[in-house]
Amino acid sequence: MAADGSNVDLSDFDRMRLWVRVSGPGERHELRVFLRNADAAYARSGALADLKPHELVFDASKERMPVDVELRRFMVASWWVQAHPQPLKDSGPELNQVKLLSLTTGGAVPPGSHTIELEAAEFRGVWVAPATFRLGVIGAWMLVITAYLLWDWRRSRKTLGQLLRRKNELQQANAKLKARSQDFEAKAHHDPLTGLRNRRGLQHDVALLTQAQEELFFPLTVVFVDIDHFKQINDAHGHDVGDAVLQQFAQLLQANVQREDLLARWGGEEFLLLMPQTVAGEAMMVAERLRQCIEQASWPAGLTLTSSFGVAQADGAQAMEAALKAADAAMYQSKQQGRNRVQLKVAERGTAPD
């Protein structure tokens, strides 16, 4: 959360105020807020999965903005506790080393395109402890009684010093808020569960790369990957196992693609791989290798996992949309033809796939 990468102690704050807009299909817009703590007792690796997640879920469509959230209402996510057993002293909520604030949809939202826009986040608490304030008043009265003139002179100097310090603190706070806003924007481009780019982040990166070096970006091959029968995994084993499968699936894909390739979680159990300077034939071989790795890997709860692939090539920026549609259509052909397959579909520039 801090601009320099350090953790933030929220233990002296009692509430968080959010200015957020949520849109998407359906009347309810369930929003899940995470505060991830990074105590060294369980987060030595620094990996996102090891940060203790404190979550709060509410229906944003029923709240007026800004919405005030009491920090005591955040509870440690049960799926994290099951995956990271801790001693009793470390098992409860901890907000003394918060590293990340993230927002995502809840588990009860309908499928479709959902947008979360965070305008600002404010943490609130008592600025000065009551006991400290009382001691200051008593001390001030003692100074007045003993030496009014000396006290008045010192008060003036103290007031001036406080004003200067407050001005400096406000400048630092504004700088931190600006840096946090930029950090929140970066977090909005990544999927909090898998750590991969999300759809918005992928579109942002593609736009930057094509503007900077379009001639080095194409030909480009689009590969859609979808986990077969993923709903059955959630229904039979629960969402904790489903989340673990998605995390491992993302790690497996990331470990088996080139550094220059762009990988994103497109939505649900669907992933998208963009392979610059790669023709469809080469991408087909990469997709087949990934399909075999997925089929042969060991998965949570003893599951056997397969996936369906759709491949299409874009020869320029104008052909990107058609290639995305063609790869998506090819992936669904793979599923219709029995799943656990790699399917190629050709789309001409500027035309939609059949």
Active site residue 269: yes
At 59, is the secondary structure helix, strand, or coil?
strand
Task: Go through 289-327 and write b for each residue having 16 or more CB atoms within 10 A of its CB, e for each that does not.
Answer: ebbeebeeeebbeebebebbbbbbbbebbebbebbbbbb
Structure tokens at 268: 């649900």
Q: Order of strands, edge to edge, in the sheet holding 67-70?
A: 67-70, 13-23, 115-125
What are the backbone dihedrals phi and psi of residue 224, each rounded to the nearest 5 degrees, phi first? -90, 135
Q: Is the peptide bond before 219 cis (omega within 30 degrees of 0)?
A: yes
Burial category of 166 from C-beta neighbours within 10 Å (exposed 0-12, middle 13-18, buried 19 and up): exposed
3 state DSSP class of 260:
coil
Which residue of the set 30, 94, 269, 270 is catalytic? 269
Which residue in 314, 313, 315, 295 sits closest to 305, CA to CA?
295
Rounded CA Rg of the chain? 26
Strands annotated E in 43-189:
52-59, 67-70, 75-76, 98-105, 115-125
Residue at token pair 């003993």? 146
Note whether 54 and 81 are within 8 A (CB): no
What residues are annotated to the active site?
Answer: 269
